[in-house]
Each structure stands twice: as structure tokens, then as C-alpha cells.
Chains A and B, each alone.
Chain A
């Protein structure tokens, strides 16, 4: 069974640009959530989607947005990139309620220069 696939693995962008990250969940998992990991702040929740609906959003500015498609694949977008957006962005998929755990992808390493 394929795991959670995140693309691309690495990205280098300049300040002010925008970026789109993609996440394909495990087949059958309809919940997809996104986390930002930085050395200073640790793991921070960005948002969670289920059946194309955002059910919860973390404390991030409006420059961070996401969506989920009918096949459960999800994308997140960051506009007007800042240096502080440099981080590992992790996507996780799960069955409803988190039973059996959340399975994470390998992440997208974003560097803003």
C-alpha cells in the first residue's frame, strides 16, 4: 500500500514569490492535515481537510491556504513568501478521528532566500 506522497521534496524560492505544495494521501484516507516544522517553533498545525472541507485551521496568517480535491489529494499554497517561511512542511493522512494514527509523508523542505 503506497504511503503519503509529498511533492516536491525540496524547493528554493525568493522572498515575495508564492509556492504550491502537493500531498497525496494513502488510498482510502479522506482526512489530510498539514504541519510546519522549524527548529525554533517545532511542529505547528496549519490546517486539516476532510471531504474537501477545511475543518480546522491553525494560527497562521492568511498567506497560508490550502484545499482538498475530490480524490482527497491536497495542496497548500503560501503567497508572498518571507524568510521565516523556510521550514519542513509535512502532510499527514488518517482515517476519521485519528484512529490507527496519522501517517506522514517525507515532507517538502522549503528554503526562502
Chain B
């Protein structure tokens, strides 16, 4: 069945790079997404990648997709305190019209 897995926590020092990892099982994914959720807020779309791409860069964010290993990562360069949040990985499968979500990774920034 469909499943998306993420580590629950990641702790990094301010100014370092953060790398959040995600694995998925369904090879028929169309798009893969990264969302950010701050306390008490909804989900903010950070970036997404089409399944036939292997990399996408957007300012401080770099997404890497290894389709063979079904592995997705989000790298945040120069991590700031404002990056503290929960980061969700999600995949969409066109025929199902839904997103399958990971449990979310809480990013903790150490001063």
C-alpha cells in the first residue's frame, strides 16, 4: 500500500544546513511536495518536484529526488530560527486525487 515515512525530529545549529529526509513506497507518484506547518497554523507549500526530475532549487531550498530508491530530501541552507516548524513530505498519485502524507519532521534550531 501507499506509505510515506519521515524521521520525527531533526536538531541543527543556527546557520548550518538542515536536511530532512523522506521515503515513499508508491512508484506511480506524480508529484512530491514539501509543506511547512508552524504552531497553530495551516500548511504552507514550500516546494514540489515532478516525479521525472531529480533536483529542484529555490533560493535556500534544494529538493533531491532519487526515484530508484524512492527517497526525497529537503535541504535548507543557512537555517534560521524562523525555520522552526514541522515539515511534511507528501506524494500525489494522479488517479487517486489525494495526497499521502508523512508524519512530519519537527525541525529544532539550536542557537
Contact = CB atoms under 8 A, between A and B. Distances in A.
Contacts of A107: 42
Interface residues of B, number: 23
Interface string A32-66: 01010000001101001010000110100000000
A98 interface: yes
Interface string A79-94: 0000000000010100
A64 to B, nearest CB: 14
Contacts of B35: 104
B92 interface: yes
Provide the main secondary structure of the chain A interface. Answer: strand
Contacts of B104: 42
Given A56-B97, A92-B43, 7 more contacts: A45-B99, A92-B99, A97-B30, A101-B45, A102-B45, A103-B45, A107-B42
Contacts of A97: 30, 94
A92 B97 CA distance: 12
Interface of B: 30-31, 33, 35, 41-45, 48, 88, 90, 92, 94, 96-104
Nearest to B45: A101
A56 B96 CA distance: 7
Contact of A42 (B31, B33, B101): B101
6 contacts: A43-B99, A43-B101, A45-B100, A56-B97, A90-B43, A101-B48
A105 interface: yes
A101 B45 CA distance: 7
Interface of A: 31, 33, 35, 42-43, 45, 48, 50, 55-56, 58, 90, 92, 97-107
Contacts of B41: 106
A83 B111 CA distance: 40
A56 B98 contact: yes
Given A42-B101, A42-B103, A106-B41, A98 B96 contact: no
B109 to A, nearest CB: 22
Contacts of A105: 42
